[in-house]
Amino acid sequence: MDRFPDRTEAKNSDRTPLRPGQKPSFQEIDFARSPFLVIWEATQACDLACLHCRAEARPCRDAGELSTEEGMALLEDARRFGPVLFVLTGGDPLKRPDIFDLIRHGHAIGLRMTMTPSGTQLLTRERVRQMRAVGLARVAVSVDGPDRLSHDMFRNVPGSFDWTMDCIRWAREEGLEVQINTTVTRFNKTRLREMADMVARLGITLWSVFFLVPVGRGNKHHMVSPAEHEALFHQLYDFSKEMPFDIKTTAAQHFRRVSMQRAAWDRLHGGAPDPAGGASPFRGGPGFSAGIGRAAKGVNDGNGLVFISHRGEVMPSGFLPVSAGNVRSRSVVDIYRESELFCSLRLPDSYSGKCGYCDFRDICGGSRARALAAAGDPLASEPFCTYRPQKPGSAKPASNTYKGPHAEAGAVTRAQVIEALAPARSARVPAAG
C-alpha cells in the first residue's frame, strides 16, 4: 500500500529500472532532484561509548525508532530517487534484529546497500557472511587509532580494535568491499601516517577521513585548529600520491580546494607527474567534480546528501541535526526536493561571509554542519578554513593564513587551477567526499 497516495503518479514516474546494487553515476545526478548519498540512522542503540558520538548512542533501542514496516517503506520511497548509495548507520545497525531483512529488500529493489556496524561482539564471522549473502555492497568500519590502546580508549570499550580487525579480515575473505572510517581529533592528529600505513597493509580500497563536528558527544575542545585542518589536508594529499587506496573526506569539504590547489601547484612546478602522461584532464573524485571537462559540483549537507534519523526526522546530514520533516508523514523525496532548508543549502551564492563569494564555493562550500555548530547558522561561513578568497570589487588578491608546509599552494585561485589543470596539463588528485 502506498504511504503517500496523493503522490502515486510522481512516484511511478520516478521508478526507472535499477539493477540490484547499481552504482550511482555521480556526474549524471541532478542534486536538486536526487542525492548521491541517503543515510539512515537505523537505530540509536550501540554497545560502544565513543567520545565523539554524533548519535549520543545508548545500549538499548529507542521505542520510537522506525519499525520494520516503516523501514521497508523508507527504502521503497528512497528508490524514487533513482540510483543512490544507501547507507545504514547508527548507533550500531546490528542492534536491529531485522537489519538483514532490510538489506535484502533494499538490494532487491535496486538500491546499493552499505552499512557501518560498530566494532563490538555482535560483529561475528557469521554476520559478516550474512551481510554478503543478503546483498550488502560494502561494509564500513571505524578505526580511530593504529593500535589497540589508542582505538579502544577512543571507543571506551576494550576489545573494539580486535573485533574490528576480525571484521575486516572476514569481509575480505567473503569478497565484501571494506571501507575504513577515521575521525580526526586532537587525540590522533599526529598519527595519520601510522593510520595510512595500517590501511595500506590491510588492503583497504577506500579510507574515509572525518573531521570532527561538535554535535552529540563531540566536543569542540577535541577539534583540531583551522591551521591544523589545512596541514592535515596537505598530508592527506601527499598520502594520496603514494598510497594504494583512495582517500575521501567527510565534514572537510575544503579538502577539495586543497587537493585542487596542490595538484595545480605541483603541475606548474613539476612535482606531480601524471601516470597517464598528461592525456586525461583532472576530474575530481567520488563526492566532487572539479569543473574541468565537466560540470562542477560537490556533495555537502543537504546537497547531494540526505540523512534520516532513527525516529524518521529528515535532516541535511547527521552532523546538521535540523529537521525538515518526518518520513512518517511526508516522502523523503519531497522533503529533499522541496523543503526550504534543503533548497537554501543548495544555493552556495546565498551563503554569508567569504563562503558566499569564494571561487571554490560550488565544489567546496564549506561544512554547513560546522557553520551551524559554530555560528548557529547553516548558511554561515566555514569557521575552520584558512583560505581568504578575493572579495568582489576588491583589488586585494586571494590569500591564505596557513603558514606551514606547502603554504605556497594555499593561495592558488580557481582560475589558476583551471588554467594549470586543463586537459593537456592534468594531474592526479585524491577523492574527496
In a domain, 357, yes or no: no
Q: pTM value?
A: 0.91
**Strand ranges (E), 264-361:** 284-285, 288-290, 296-298, 305-308, 314-315
Query: What was the pLDDT predicted at 262?
Result: 94
Asked if residue 309 is part of any domain, the answer here is: yes
CATH number for the domain harbouring residue 94: 3.20.20.70
Inform me whether the pLDDT recorded for 340 exceeds 50: yes
Asked if residue 66 belongs to a domain, the reply is yes
Within-domain flag for 80: yes
Query: Domain total for the chain?
Result: 1
Q: Residue 10 has what pLDDT?
A: 45
Half-sphere exposure at residue 140, Cβ-oriented, CA atoms within 13 angstroms: 19
Would 91 be classed as within a structural domain? yes
pLDDT tens for each residue of 204-216: 989 999 999 999 8
What percent of the chain is predicted at pLDDT more than 90?
Answer: 76
Task: Give residue 256's pLDDT band: very low, low, confident or very high (50, 70, 90).
Answer: very high
The arithmetic mean of pLDDT across residues 365-385, rounded, is 97
Domain enclosing residue 146, as ranges: 5-224+304-344
Q: What is the mean pLDDT of residues 236-260?
A: 93
Asked whether residue 400 is assigned to any structural domain, the reply reads no
DSSP secondary structure letters along 134-175: TT--EEEEE--SSSHHHHHHHHTSTTHHHHHHHHHHHHHHTT
What is the pLDDT at residue 57?
A: 77
Model confidence pLDDT, tens digit, residues 120-174: 999 999 999 999 999 999 999 999 999 999 999 988 899 999 999 999 999 999 9
Is the per-residue pLDDT at 430 higher than 90? no
Structure confidence by residue, pLDDT tens digits, 107-121: 999 999 999 999 999
User: Which pLDDT score is estimated for 423?
Assistant: 65
Q: What is the pLDDT of residues 36-75, one digit of tens each?
A: 999 999 999 999 888 888 878 788 999 999 999 999 999 9
Say if 230 falls within a structural domain. no
> Are residues 353 and 392 in contact, defined by beta-carbon separation less than 8 angstroms?
no
DSSP state of 225: P
Residue 390 has pLDDT above 70, yes or no: yes
Mean per-residue pLDDT of the chain: 89
Q: Torsion angle, CA of 198/215/238/24, rounded to 10 degrees?
A: 90
For the residues 235-250, what does the mean pLDDT come to? 93
Kindly tell me if the per-residue pLDDT of 365 is higher than 90: yes
User: Comparing 176 with 219, which gets the higher pLDDT?
Assistant: 176
Percentage, residues of the chain above pLDDT 70: 87
> 257 pLDDT exceeds 80?
yes
Residues composing the chain = 433
Confidence band of 26 (pLDDT split at 50, 70, 90): confident
Q: What is the tens place of the pLDDT at every residue in 258-305?
A: 999 999 998 888 755 443 344 445 555 546 666 565 567 899 999 999
Q: Which of 264, 254, 248, 236 is nearest to 364 (CA)?
A: 254
Instruction: Judge whether 278 lies within some domain.
Output: no
**Amino acid at residue number 118:** S
Q: Which of 78-92, 201-215, 258-272, 325-339 is predicted least confidently?
A: 258-272
**Residue with grid cell 539493477, as numbered in its chain:** 19
Helix (H, G, I), strand (E, B) or coil at 41: strand
Residue 314 has a pLDDT of 98
State residue 51's pLDDT score: 80
Question: pLDDT tier at 15 (50, 70, 90 boundaries)?
Answer: low
Pairwise pLDDT comparison (23 vs 330), residue with the higher score:
330
**What mean pLDDT is predicted for residues 382-390?**
97
Q: In whole angstroms, how far apart are CA 386 and each of 52, 254, 302, 390, 399?
A: 24, 9, 24, 13, 9
Better-predicted residue by pLDDT, 122 or 26 = 122
**Torsions phi, psi for 38 (to 5 deg):** -115, 120
